Amino acid sequence: MNKHHIYNKKTIEDVVYSDGIGIHSGKVSKIRLLPADLNSGIVFISKKHGMKSPIKVCPENVSDTKNAISLSNGKWQISTIEHLLSFFYIFGISDIIVEVEGDEIPIYDGSINPIIDIFSEKKFYIFEELNEPIQIINPIWIFEGDKFILVIPSEEPMISYTIHYNHPVIKTQFAHFSLEKDVFIKEIAPARTYTFLKDISYLHKNSLGLGGSLNNTLLISDDSYLNEPRFEDECVRHKILDFIGDIALLGKPVIGHFIISKSGHTLDLNFIKKIKEIYSTIDIGNKIDFMKKASTKI
Ligand SMILES: [Zn+2]
């Protein structure tokens, strides 16, 4: 393994406040990000009626994968966490508390750029402990119809993603990136949520997308974009952003090459559970031995 991809655990130094509209609820949510103790992981705290209820980020606490990832502790639920989680994952923030007043994380401009801007002047606290990654040592895959996710061993964390729509503008989009911070900031973070105009009435009937607008969504009619795309292939880039957020549910970085076609949150979650199951049974001693061997290659 390339030691370049192993980082120390990290939290934030100061409290960060932010607010914005939720894309599905259409209501304003306030969030407060707080430093956390080493090994406490990423914890959301739902604040309602003067009460607080913690929900730990892990695949087992996912309560809904329809249109967004929701987490629940059986009592309260917090939705649309995936964009914020993608930021934590790429910036290596392993331990943090996210207090939420509202039902979901704000959508901001549909991308994660505004959070990156907020953090551009904030400091992180680096712990001495390493955030030991899951190094993929054998291929793992999952498929459902023509959708699939495969991860193969790789010295660098990478992602290759394909989407296809029977649509004159989108057609097939393919993107391939290294999962590095600089690449994320430039190529992935600005990509916004996208929606088809024809789906809006269905979404609204199901109380979804109530906060959606041209200010936070790339809107697509039957034959064109209704607002200016930030990239020619913005849709597939946003799918990558979502996937990174879903992988963050594991609570550990993964070093491997993800090859994905037309996935969504539900398949992502099943895949993540598979990785967790496989890697929780690998003997720690063997894993360290493997890492030592792999690191001698560089
Ligand atoms: Zn998204």
Q: Domain containing 25 — which CATH number?
A: 3.30.230.20
Query: Using one digit for the tens of pLDDT, what is the confidence trace for 100-141?
Result: 999 999 999 999 999 999 999 899 999 999 999 999 999 999
Model pTM? Answer: 0.92
Instruction: Name residues of the chain where pLDDT drops below 50.
Output: 1, 284-286, 288-298
Question: Do 99 and 165 fall into the same domain?
Answer: no
The identity of residue 103, as a single letter, is D
Question: Do 143 and 262 fall into the same domain?
Answer: yes
pLDDT for 134:
95
Domain end point (choices 104, 130, 156) = 130
- Catalogue the active-site residues: 265
In the chain, how many domains are there? 2
pLDDT for 2:
55
Query: Using one digit for the tens of pLDDT, what is the confidence trace for 53-97?
Result: 899 999 999 999 988 999 999 988 999 999 999 999 999 999 999
Domain end point (choices 130, 153, 179) = 130
Question: Do 140 and 122 fall into the same domain?
Answer: no
Question: Do 151 and 269 fall into the same domain?
Answer: yes
Question: Do 145 and 285 fall into the same domain?
Answer: yes
Residue 155 CA, ligand 1 centroid: distance in Å: 27
Residue 193 CA, ligand 1 centroid: distance in Å: 5
Residue 67 CA, ligand 1 centroid: distance in Å: 8
Describe the chain by its helix, strand, coil percentages, rounded to 5: 30, 30, 40
Question: Do 40 and 78 fall into the same domain?
Answer: yes
Q: Give bridge partners of residue 178 from the DSSP assignment.
A: 158
Domain end point (choices 95, 130, 165) = 130
Question: Do 187 and 91 fall into the same domain?
Answer: no
Question: Do 243 and 107 fall into the same domain?
Answer: no
Residue 4 CA, ligand 1 centroid: distance in Å: 29
Question: Do 180 and 271 fall into the same domain?
Answer: yes
Is residue 170 within 8 A of residue 229, CB to CB? The reply is no
Residue 284 CA, ligand 1 centroid: distance in Å: 34
Question: Do 164 and 283 fall into the same domain?
Answer: yes
Residue 108 CA, ligand 1 centroid: distance in Å: 11
Task: Report the mean per-residue pLDDT for the chain.
Answer: 92
Of the candidates 293, 281, 12, 250, the one whose C-alpha atom is nearest the C-alpha of residue 132 is: 250
Is residue 72 within 8 A of residue 44, CB to CB? The reply is no
Question: Do 186 and 255 fall into the same domain?
Answer: yes
pLDDT for 6:
84
Question: Do 175 and 234 fall into the same domain?
Answer: yes
What range does the domain containing 159 cover? 134-295
